[in-house]
Structure 1
């Protein structure tokens, strides 16, 4: 065996087995041998749960005078509870992972690591690289556990390798389907979408995450995170947001460098840490306390949108304080 080496079993340990039913139709053991022979199969690579079948099938190969192919029995892929992966137990099929935003190349890459190793100090490979380095010498003999969290870690790395344009092409129909925007709107603002996926792709684990994480790029009608609002939307935050918005408004060029310089200068003037401005500003323009770099976020949203949202937050804070 390619993986397990020499395997032997005494003939008396192999029970008499049926190769044809009473109606004359062939059972699996006979059918698979004849079919593989007719198709010119030279290598049979399958799960190690078929080892017992292999002894029976070799008997049939010999009886029929067929050349015996090379057999390799690879480790089983098991659930975390050590049972075989099965749809009856609720395990997903390939289409479900695709629907959930797992890239085909990420799934392929991860599956290749289950029961096989490149023997190199890396795990992330594209398909061509895996084809190049694949060898039967690197199979493991023990069964593997399918870990969905690790699959998502692989997916995250493969997403980061994609160009912004390729990701935008994948994300666009999902955004339209979600109702966040329209096909026409995106087609007329393609650079905007590419900028969005560019700042989010370091954070997502699934393609679908681009939709759930990008809501505030397409609408100003969002609710401020309640916990963050209690922490960052204090009365003094309204004054800071208002003053920072006024400084932003004076900028002739709303660039990454200018935006960061403006916030930093204001914080130094007021002798407070930059966080006093960063946290309420992020919450004001996105509704969330976390996300991509603030200055990237502000520039992508545009000066007009940022000013509108910051001043809207000022009104919200003051209304809550009254």
Structure 2
């Protein structure tokens, strides 16, 4: 469950359309050009948009230039994530909040978007407890790794985002998040960008578009012809979860978290097609509706989801 600061919510766009959160992937195979054009189009037509970006490839490249070997670990729940020690955290902040956020904000402004770059630390935008120790699986054995700089997002400063959107700005958000050390101190820590986007979408009751380098979730991960177009019931959502492997598993996890938080629908779609965001909102990709949660799905925050062991 993601808490919100205050009772702010972004105003709906034209014809009552909810805001849109667009997550732009950080993989080298993802070209942001189409997303930038679509964000400009949506913003020009009055639909509030928040952009959240990742940057795993650039983080790894930054680490390599600094002579640091990137390290990924498997959590006890089977999710693969980055282990972020102190040195890695420095490179992470340089790449994400420094290089990538600035470049994407500049690119959006060049397209006519009044974009404002923010990290999760700014204004306590994304906040939660720091996890300095994580449970991992190494050689089939469960172990505790200490010295990690990661966190679980438990609150979103929706007031900050809603205020910017109301004034016509397009926030461009990236990790790191504000990690609570428990003694009043705040440390910048790693947070997964897909799940950050999910937290923002839930807090704003926004549609979420997760752009990646494939066309959606495939029933057969090796066959694009088996794309699952939609999930509107718990049974259909279970089929999506069963089909999601590797990096896609984390995106489906993020989709559930967004819906549990208040998002009406989530679309996992291809970033590299023409007009990728508009296409996703029009039905391309794999769309997961809030009804797929079943039960109390109409009550945002009714389902609490474990944040996992790694970010």
The structure whose Rg is larger is: 1
Q: Normalising by structure 2, report the TM-score.
A: 0.26
Structure with greater proportional strand content: 2
Q: Normalising by structure 1, report the TM-score.
A: 0.25
Structure with greater proportional helix content: 1
